Amino acid sequence: MMMEHIPVVLQVVPGDAYCVYAYFDDGSVHLFDVAPLIKQGTVFEPLADVAVFRKSLTVMNRTLAFDIEGDRNPCDCIDIDPETVYGGKVVADPLEATA
C-alpha cells in the first residue's frame, strides 16, 4: 500500500494584498491568496486588518496559520489545509531575490 504525501508547510512570508508565500517540505514555494477567505461574519474576519494579518501569520499544525490570540495555542489558531495552500501558484522564492 502506497502512502500519499501530505505537504508540510515549513515557513510562511507575507506578501502583498493578503497573499502568503508558503515554503513546503519538497522545496517548492507556493503563493496563496487569503483575500477570498476574509469575509465579514467568518472566522477570517479579523484578518481584514492588515496589521493583524501580518502579525498573526505563522506556521502551526504543519501548515499556514494565523495566531489571532498570540498565545501559540494550536487549538485556537486559524489554519488552512496544507493541500489547499499547496494548490496555490508555484513561484520563485521571493527571499532569494532580495539576498
Residue extents of the structural domains in the chain = 9-93
CA atoms of 15 and 12, how far apart (whole Å): 9
Distance in angstroms (rounded) separating the CA atoms of residues 24 and 39:
27
In this prediction, residue 89 carries a pLDDT of 97
8 A C-beta contact, residue 37 and residue 44? yes
**Dihedral of the alpha carbons of 94, 5, 65, 30, in degrees to the nearest 10:** 20
pLDDT at position 1, please?
Answer: 60
User: How much is the CA Rg of the chain, to the nearest whole Å?
Assistant: 14
Assess contact for 7 and 86: CB atoms under 8 A.
yes
The tens place of each residue's pLDDT in the chain, 99 residues long, gives 666 889 999 999 999 999 999 999 999 999 999 999 999 999 999 999 999 999 999 999 999 999 999 999 988 899 999 999 999 999 999 988 665
